[in-house]
Chains A and B, each alone.
Chain A
Amino acid sequence: MADLNAKPVLLHYRGWRGSLQGDGVASTFGFLAVQAALFGVAALVPSGLVRVLLLGVFLANFLFVSRSRAWPIARVALLMLFRRRLFWGLYALSITVFLCYFFGQYLMSWAQGLLGESEIRVGGVARVQPKWLLETLRDTLHFNGSPLTFRDFFWFEANTVMIALAFSGAVLIGNDFRYGSLAFYLAKPISTWHYLLGKGLAVVVFLNLFTTLPAVVLWLQFGMLESWEYFTEQSYLLLGILAYGLVLSTSLTIVLLATAAWLRATVPLIMAWMTLFVFAQAVSSALVDGLRFSPLWRLIDLWNCTYVIGNALLHADLSKIRPSPQPEVWQAALVLLGVCSACLSYLIPRVRAVEIVP
C-alpha cells in the first residue's frame, strides 16, 4: 500500500554534463549531399575499380544513418514490421525470386562446364542437352549477370513489393495517424520532418531489402562465378542497380508517405495502392497490348515508369523491353517526377501545419 504520509520521493538523475544531440536537420542534408556527390563522381569516373570503391564507400556511409535523429523512428517502425508474420510471408515470397536467380546463375555456370557432354541429367529425372539448357538460362531467363538479369529481377519483385508496401504503409504510418501515436513523437524535441524522414527511412530500408540488396548480392555472386574482371568491367551495373534502387526508394517512399498520411486506415490504403499499381498496370496493359492504344498509356502504371527508367540506368537495350512498345524514358521520368511533386505538395503543407488533428 502506498504510504500517503510518506515524504515525497524525488526523481533524481545522476549528474549529466553532456549535451543533447542537435535537431540533425543540417547534418541530414549534409549527409545526403555527400552521398549524392559520391554517387555523381562514381557515375562520372571512367575507371571501374575507382567506381566500385566509391560505391563501396557510398554503401558503407549508410551505417551513419543509425546516428541520425530519424533512426529511432525508423527502427521502431521496422521492428513493428519484422514482428508481423505477413511481412515474413511476403519476404519469403520475394526471397524465392532471389533464390531462383541465385541458383539459376550457379546452374548456368555448371552447364557451361558441361558443354562438351551430349546430354546431362537435371534433377535426376530429365535429360537435356547442355547447349539447350545454357541457351534457355542465358537468353530466355537471363541468368547471365547482364543488365537484363537485374532488370528482370526488379520486375519480378514488383508484385511482392507492391503488396508488402501497401501493408507496411498502414503499419508504418497509417496507424500513427489513425490511433494517435503521432502525439508521442511530435511531443518530443524533433521536427515533423524528422518524423517523415524516419518513416521514409523505414520504407527505404524495407524496399531495398526486397530489391536493391538482393540485386547487389546477385551482382557480387556473378562476379565471383565469372571472374574478378567482372567487378570492374561491369561496375556500371552496380551503379545502375543502386541508381534503380534510388529511383524506386525515392519515388515509392514519397507516394507511400502521401497516401498513408491521406488515407490512414489499412484497408483504404491497400485499395489505393492496389489501384495505383496493380489495377493501373492491368488497364495500361489492356489498352496498349489489347486495344493497341498509344504506348503513352503505360505511363499510368507507376511501376512501369520506374521500370523504363531502370532499364536506362542499367544500360539495358531499350528496344528489348518486355512488354513493348514502351514510352520514352524522359516521358516516364516526367510522369514520376510529376507524381512525386504532387505528393510532396500534399505532404509539405501538412508538415508545415504540424496538424495531427483531422
Chain B
Amino acid sequence: MPELLDSASPGGRDRPVERTQAPTRPVEVAEPARSAVPAAPMMLCQRVSKWYGAIRGVLDVTLELRGGLTGLVGANGAGKTTLIRLITGQLRPDSGSVQIAGIEAHRPEARRLIGYCPDTDAFYEEMSGRAFVREMARLCGFPASEVQRRTEAVLKRVGMAERADRPIRGYSKGMRQRVKLAQALLHDPPLLVLDEPMSGIDPVGRAEFVTLFHSLANQGKCLLVSSHELDELEKLTNHVVIMSHGRIAAADTVPRIRERLVAAPLTYCLEVQRGETGLRHRELAAQLLQRVPSLRRIELSEPSEQIGRLLIQTDSPPLFLSVLQSLILEEWYEIVHLQAFDESTAAVLEYLLNCRR
C-alpha cells in the first residue's frame, strides 16, 4: 500500500498526452519530458470506443495521464461520463483498451489504484456519513483498526469530522460532495477520478477543495476532474481534455490549445495614450481596418481625456498582432494596455464545440 508523499513532486507538472487528432484542426501536444516519465502511464486509453446500441458513447479515444491535475470538459452528451466509467472500470470498451498503471481497468487490482467520486448522490439516506465511509473502507480491504483511522483521517480532511454522525438524508449538497470525496480518498489512490466534485459546494468550500486538489497533485497524484463549472476548473488547472461528440477535441493547457486555434476569433482591448496631436485611437482603428482584412468588429470609446480605447475582434490574431507591431514602430502609437479576451477555458470550449458542429 503506497503511503502518501508529503513533498511536492514533479508529478504535478506531468501532463496528459492526447494522440487523437481533432478532425477540424489537428491540435499538437507536447510529449512530457521522457526522463521524468515512468514506464507505465497512470492511465492509458488506447483507441477506446464504447457504444450503447446505436448510440455512440466515446469513439476512438486515445488519452494518456501521467500525473498532475487535468480537467475534463465538454457539453452534455459529449462522452465525459462514459470515459470516466471506462477509466474506473465500470464499463468495458467495445474496442481498444483502458489501463491503469498497466493493469486492465475492469480488474479489481486496478481499482485499488483509483479513487472515484461519482456525480450521483445515491447514498443510503438512513446511514450516517461516518458509517458510509467506514463501510467503504471495509470494502477496500483494510483491517478494522485501519478502517477506523482512515475514516477519521479522510473525514477530517474534507471537513466533515464534526458533522458525519448525522443521517445522510439531512445533508446539504455540499456535505454530500464532501462525503463522496472522503470515500474516494480512503485508500490513498494514485489516480483520482472526480466527476463534478464541486457541484453544489459553497464558495468557501470550493476554495478548500481547490486547495485540497492542489495538495493532492503536489503529492504526485494524478487527478482527472470533470466539471461544468469552468470558472472553478480554471482556478484548479489550466490543463484540460476537451470532449466533443464522443471524441477528444483537444488535450493540453488552455493557452497552448488557444495558440493552435489559429483561425479562432479573438477579442483585444487596446488603450492608446493621448499624443501631441490629441487622441489617436480613431486613426489607429482606420489603419487597422485598412491593413487587417480579417477584422470582425471595432468599438471605440474614450474613457478619459488621456486614453482612447479600442475593442477589436479579429479572425486572425497573428496577422493583427503583426500589423499592430508595425504600426507602433512606424507611427509611434503609445499603447498603454493590450489585453486579449476569449482565452478562457469557456471560450476555447465554445469555439471547439462550434467548430465541430
Contact = CB atoms under 8 A, between A and B. Distances in A.
Given A12-B4, A13-B4, A14-B149, A72 B126 contact: no
A70 to B, nearest CB: 10
Interface string B199-228: 000001101100110111011000000000
Given A8-B215, A354-B106, A20 B112 contact: yes
A355 B91 contact: yes
Interface stretch (A33-41, A148-156, A181-189, A235-243): A181-189
B140 A354 contact: no
A18 B122 contact: no
19 contacts: A2-B205, A8-B214, A8-B218, A12-B4, A13-B4, A13-B150, A16-B1, A16-B149, A18-B143, A20-B141, A20-B142, A22-B141, A69-B141, A79-B131, A180-B120, A186-B111, A188-B140, A355-B90, A357-B82
B139 A21 contact: no
Please give me the 3 A-B residue pairs with the lowest Cβ-Cβ distance, nearest first.
A8-B215, A187-B116, A179-B122
B187 A181 contact: no
Contact of A10 (B1, B4, B109, B183): B4
Interface in A127-153: none
Contact of B118 (A12, A23, A184): A184
Interface residues of A, number: 47
B14 interface: no
Nearest to B85: A357
A185 B183 CA distance: 11
Given A13-B149, A73-B139, A184-B118, A189 B112 contact: yes
A83 interface: yes
Interface string B135-152: 110111111001001100
A80 B123 CA distance: 11
B106 A187 contact: no
Interface string A56-72: 00000000000001011
The CB with the most chain B CB atoms within 10 A, among A4, A71, A186, is that of A186
Contacts of B120: 179-181, 183
Nearest to B6: A10
Contacts of B108: 23, 189-191
Nearest to A17: B1
Contacts, number: 149
B153 A12 contact: yes
A353 interface: yes
Contacts of A190: 108, 111, 139
A76 interface: yes
A44 interface: no
B4 A184 contact: no
B185 interface: yes
Interface string A176-215: 1001110111111111000000000000000000000000
A10 B88 CA distance: 25
> Which of B82, B118, B184 is the most central at the interface, judged by chain A CB atoms within 10 Å of its CB?
B118
Nearest to A178: B122
A186 B135 contact: no
B154 interface: yes
A324 B106 CA distance: 52
B122 A20 contact: no
A80 B135 contact: no
Interface residues of B, number: 58
A291 interface: no
B207 A2 contact: yes
Given A20-B141, A189-B108, A189-B141, A181 B122 contact: yes
A95 B52 CA distance: 48
A176 B122 CA distance: 8
B188 interface: yes
Interface in B89-131: 89-92, 106, 108-109, 111-112, 114-116, 118, 120, 122-124, 126-127, 131
Nearest to A84: B126
A188 B149 CA distance: 18
A16 B208 contact: no
B204 A181 contact: no
A183 B90 contact: yes
Given A11-B185, A18-B146, A71-B138, 18 more contacts: A2-B205, A2-B208, A10-B4, A10-B218, A11-B153, A11-B212, A13-B153, A14-B149, A20-B141, A21-B141, A76-B124, A79-B126, A80-B126, A179-B122, A180-B122, A184-B122, A188-B139, A188-B140
Nearest to B204: A2
Contacts of B162: none
Nearest to A171: B124
B3 interface: yes
A23 B139 CA distance: 10
B157 interface: yes
A73 B215 CA distance: 32
Contact of B91 (A4, A20, A22, A354): A354
A118 B85 CA distance: 78
Contacts of B109: 189
A75 interface: yes
Contact of A181 (B85, B106, B115, B124): B124
A189 B215 contact: no
A15 interface: yes
A179 B109 CA distance: 26
B344 to A, nearest CB: 20
A1 interface: yes
A71 B138 CA distance: 9
B118 A20 contact: no
A19 B187 CA distance: 12
Contacts of A191: 108
A99 B88 CA distance: 50
A176 B114 CA distance: 21
A26 interface: no
Contacts of A1: 204
